[in-house]
Chain A
Amino acid sequence: MTDAAASRGPGSIFKILHSLEFRMFCLALALAVILSFSSPVFLTERNIFNILDQSVVVGIVAVGMTFVILIGGIDLSVGAVFGLTGIILAQLLQTMPISAAIPIAVLSGAAIGLFSGVLIALIGLAPFVVTLGVMAIGRSLSFIFSGQRSISGLPPELENIVYSSLLGIPANVLFLIVLYLSAWGYLTYTKGGRTIYAVGSNREAARAAGLSVATYSVLPYVVSSALASVAVTFSLAQVMSADPMAGSGLELDAIAAVVIGGASLYGGRGSIIGTLMGVLIMVMIRNGLNLMGVSPFWQGTAIGSIIIIALLAERLITWRSTRT
């Protein structure tokens, strides 16, 4: 390709219109319009809050998954970490105040992430395999720690995490918004965030340029597991009991959201805004199908098709624009 050809670069408005996030936004919008025509309930205030509420758990986990996928990794253990730290939190709450139990549960989640991250980034084991192993261990431990049953009898004040609100916005939705804003700011405007992109895009080059590749290869796994524990905290507050099977399949929802949001599983490409769109698209489809009375058994087919169509569309678009 000649330099002259590349100089016909897009202007900034053009660029925003062409950006992945914008395309995903349009997709989410189109989906909302279609669903509001198919169901009169869809656009009511109550349902919108419903959608946001349903987005919280997968939304929080998807932020961590975005970090992991950006460095070219994958974290299959988030669902199991979600279940395990839920049990840990519920057990701690039997004897401890909320303000001590939650940090300990989140730290134990972070420690699991550190374990996976070290094995993957410093020892060089495959992320798929390590997190698959951690997933099996985590699920097994959550059965052991719980005595194979749900744990209830949680302190009633725990509900405040979800049911208090500010300016009419529920606390969990507010947390989600703040989390996405800070994750976006971190990935875009800090040394660490840019390092994560550089490591995912070309690890060798990042290393040769003096970036701290090791640190920022471990960090995403820590963030991912810690956020899984944060997510389970909100989930516990809502259902007021901890189930050892909680969060099974959550890793797949989170990966799906990140991929629908346009991230490349090879790393280096993707964004937190895209992930947010991915989460909303998935939750809206589920919600809409429920409203229309579609059997939950068909919902997997719908979500799966959307993932594949999103990937196909992305491949077509990048193929057209980067063909040389």
Chain B
Amino acid sequence: MNTLKSQTRTEPLLTARGVSKAFGKTQALTDAALTLRPGEVVGLLGANGAGKSTLSRIISGHIQPSGGDITLNGAPLVLTSTRNALQQGIALVAQETSLAPDLTVLENIFLPDLATPGRLSFKAMRSKASTLLSGLGHEHVLPLDAEVRLLSAAQRQLVEIAKALALDARLVIFDEPTASLSATEVSRLFDIMARLRDGGRALAFVSHRLEEVFAITDRVTILREGQSVVEDVETSSLTQGDVIQHMVGRDIGAIYSARSASRPKTNEVVFEVRHLKSAPWVRDVSFAVHKGEILGLGGLVGAGRSEAAEAIWGLRPHQDGEILVRGRPVTFRKPADAVRAGLGFVAEDRRAQNIVPDMSVRENLLLAHLGLHRGFGRGYGKCTTRIAELIKDLGLPADRLDSSLLNFSGGMQQKIIIARWLLTDPEVLILDEPTKGVDIGTRSSIYRILQGAADAGMAVIVISSDFEELLGLAERIVVVSDGYTIADLPAARLTEEKLTLLAAPRTSTARNQALLKAFAQEFEADAFWTLLDRDDLICLAQAGRTLAGLAPGEALRFDETRIPIALAARRNEFVKESDDTHQTMLVQMTDKRGHDLGWIGVTLAGNASAPSPDEIEARVQALLRAGEEDK
């Protein structure tokens, strides 16, 4: 263990040593240790079932440990309830929030106070709540009188945090707080966490998203099978590879398995969606997928991807659009129709939409078969050999087919749900967030399963908000934003940054669009917003005449446009093409952290009189500043 520099740091607020916890015959924790200090964020990592949540719930008084020592400020800590923990200044911001959905934000923030006798002063509560929220830098994003059930996941989390602060919590545990947040919301959450840390609070961050752990934590503790295998080590002294290895206990090699070279390359479209509309979330979604291809459907949470999939699957009504299987138009009024047409669908919410809790693993595996099967009997018998094969391929335990699915880890459950559909041999398999809440070891085996299915000719559509996953897994990515498909690009042309910009909600890009329109009108020009690479570009938006030859959502090499010279020059003054047909100026946009937000370009006819480059530059910079003040 690494103890460098420990003497210069503050005394621990909380230490846990040798903590164990048994549930019946299951040993959830055997020897867990954790140290939390004021002014530090500690990442608590581990694969699914490693005991992260159990340890968090012990520290926050939700459950009592079977053994071990926990001290708070050096004194032994024994918690009998969450109320007890809150009194000691320990709060848990949980994955599933513990808010009362029918009460208002204000009432929820002061929920623990409702248990104290006497009258409540709503006036005092209101002013205290405003102070708390402005301390978090979010006073205007949370209406205090709104009912909590109407809030977004991110807003609910903010209420949870405010609730912890209302009790003046010294120690806040965030249990997978980013699971249902978009990228922007995550970065806001990290801002808040940084403020809390700088205010001298001790924070624990439970996650298995490694990028986030490296972004926000100072130290990490890694659990594996109920034991702390790495305890209180500086985050900067580890690489992502080290962390993964500690989490799974072995080197798992590349997470994303490559597609097999023998995969048939075809242009045969097996499934296509044209102009799908399902109010209010899906406005105009179109995409096509080929045989043996993995297509990524990317976008932020709430962009309408899951809703589009559910509309295709007959789970929600759609008002407009066409669905074609092998070129034939089809209508799915209920999921059974889609199953019969040769489709498969792993819905997003494992517990609510996929698992049948009272059925054994075997029957859960056979559920889609049962949907497909015609006849009076179950037809289970004819699946026996196929099940045996699948179990072998997927590393499922053959001897536990008749036990309850609920006894398995989340990752194993997910594999079984995917296997449920592989059993029916669909031509097209749609998976909505297939690795949500799944540990990294199982994730890599799910990727291998999907690559294998595509190798065998299945068309696979993966919906994911994890852009890294999309880029690693898919060959082509269709980006959905605010209910519209806005780009259809080969994965090789994209990076996480480009995807983030493409997927940004339209409300946040509305200002850019308005500026492009203004430029286009005032100068009779082609105005566009684009991401530039060395010799290729991705166009994000465009307005006015199409002089430059760019269309939104398109990826082009510079020499495929009509303005290759200007693009290569990247000057913030007008540059003429060699044949004098066009002149173009480009202004780069970067945010305050120095991230590339793309370039605004204005193209005029070669003989037109050019407006002042300084004016254009100034207006773009004004736009950027206005955008930053809003954040």
Contacts and interface: CB of A to CB of B under 8 A. Distances in A.
A213 to B, nearest CB: 8
Contact of A201 (B25, B357, B403): B357
The interface centre, meaning the residue of A7, A9, A190, A191 with most chain B CB atoms within 10 A of its CB, is: A191
Interface in B476-502: none
A2 B26 contact: yes
A266 B557 CA distance: 60
Contact of B49 (A3, A191, A200, A204): A3
A269 B371 CA distance: 20
Contacts of A324: 23, 26
Interface residues on A, range: 35 or more
A82 interface: no
Nearest to A269: B358
Contact of A9 (B49, B335, B403): B403
B363 A1 contact: no
A166 to B, nearest CB: 27
Interface stretch (A124-132, A167-175, A281-289, A315-323): A315-323
Contact of B334 (A5, A204, A207, A268): A207
A68 to B, nearest CB: 16
Contact of B25 (A5, A191, A198): A5
Contact of A206 (B23, B367, B373): B367
Contacts of B372: 210
B367 A191 contact: no
Contact of A190 (B25, B315, B378): B378
A54 interface: no
Contact of A7 (B313, B338, B399): B399
Interface in B345-402: 345, 347, 352-359, 363, 367-368, 370-373, 375-379, 397, 399-400, 402
A245 to B, nearest CB: 38
Contact of B370 (A6, A194, A264): A194
A13 interface: no
A137 B117 CA distance: 49
Contacts, number: 126
A312 interface: no
A190 B374 CA distance: 11
Nearest to A15: B402
Interface stretch (B265-273, B405-413, B467-475, B522-530): B405-413
A39 to B, nearest CB: 39
Contacts of B377: 189-191
Contacts of B28: 1-2
A85 to B, nearest CB: 28
A211 B336 contact: yes
B399 A9 contact: yes
B405 to A, nearest CB: 10
Given A3-B409, A189-B378, A209-B371, A202 B355 contact: yes
A8 B49 CA distance: 17
A322 B406 contact: yes
A7 B25 CA distance: 11
A2 B368 contact: no
A241 interface: no
B62 to A, nearest CB: 13
A88 to B, nearest CB: 31
Judged by DSSP, the binding face of A is helix
Given A190-B378, A208-B345, A210-B371, A197 B359 contact: yes
A218 to B, nearest CB: 15
B339 interface: yes
A248 interface: no
A87 to B, nearest CB: 35
B27 interface: yes
A195 to B, nearest CB: 7
B339 A209 contact: yes
Interface string A173-207: 00000000000000001111011011011101111
A204 B352 contact: yes
A1 B23 CA distance: 8
A238 interface: no
A321 B403 contact: no
A140 interface: no
Contacts of A5: 25-27, 407
A146 interface: no
A299 interface: no
Contact of A211 (B340, B347, B370, B409): B370
Contacts of A205: 352-356, 367
Contacts of A269: 358
B24 interface: yes
B420 interface: yes
B31 interface: no
The interface centre, meaning the residue of A202, A205, A214 with most chain B CB atoms within 10 A of its CB, is: A205
A191 B353 contact: no
Contacts of B409: 1-3
Contacts of B353: 204-205, 208
Nearest to B417: A205
B225 interface: yes
A152 to B, nearest CB: 42
Contact of B354 (A9, A200, A208): A208
B315 A207 contact: yes
A280 B407 CA distance: 34
A292 to B, nearest CB: 39
A1 B397 contact: no
Nearest to A214: B334
Contacts of B335: 207-210
Given A6-B407, A198-B356, A209-B368, A191 B376 contact: yes
A324 B363 CA distance: 23
Given A208-B353, A208-B354, A211-B336, A201 B359 contact: yes
Contacts of B368: 209-210
Contacts of A211: 336, 367, 370-371
Contact of B357 (A189, A195, A202, A212): A202
Contacts of B399: 7, 9
A8 B420 CA distance: 24
Contacts of A323: 23-24
B24 A210 contact: no
Contacts of A7: 397, 399-400
Interface in B2-56: 23-28, 49
A192 B371 contact: no
10 contacts: A1-B23, A7-B397, A197-B356, A198-B356, A201-B357, A204-B347, A205-B354, A208-B335, A209-B368, A210-B335
Interface of A: 1-3, 5-9, 15, 189-192, 194-195, 197-198, 200-202, 204-212, 214, 264, 268-269, 320-324
Given A191-B376, A194-B370, 5 more contacts: A1-B26, A209-B367, A209-B371, A210-B336, A211-B370
Interface of B: 23-28, 49, 225-226, 313, 315, 334-336, 338-340, 345, 347, 352-359, 363, 367-368, 370-373, 375-379, 397, 399-400, 402-403, 406-409, 412, 420
Top 8 nearest A-B pairs (CB, nearest first) are A210-B371, A210-B339, A6-B407, A268-B358, A201-B358, A5-B26, A210-B336, A209-B367
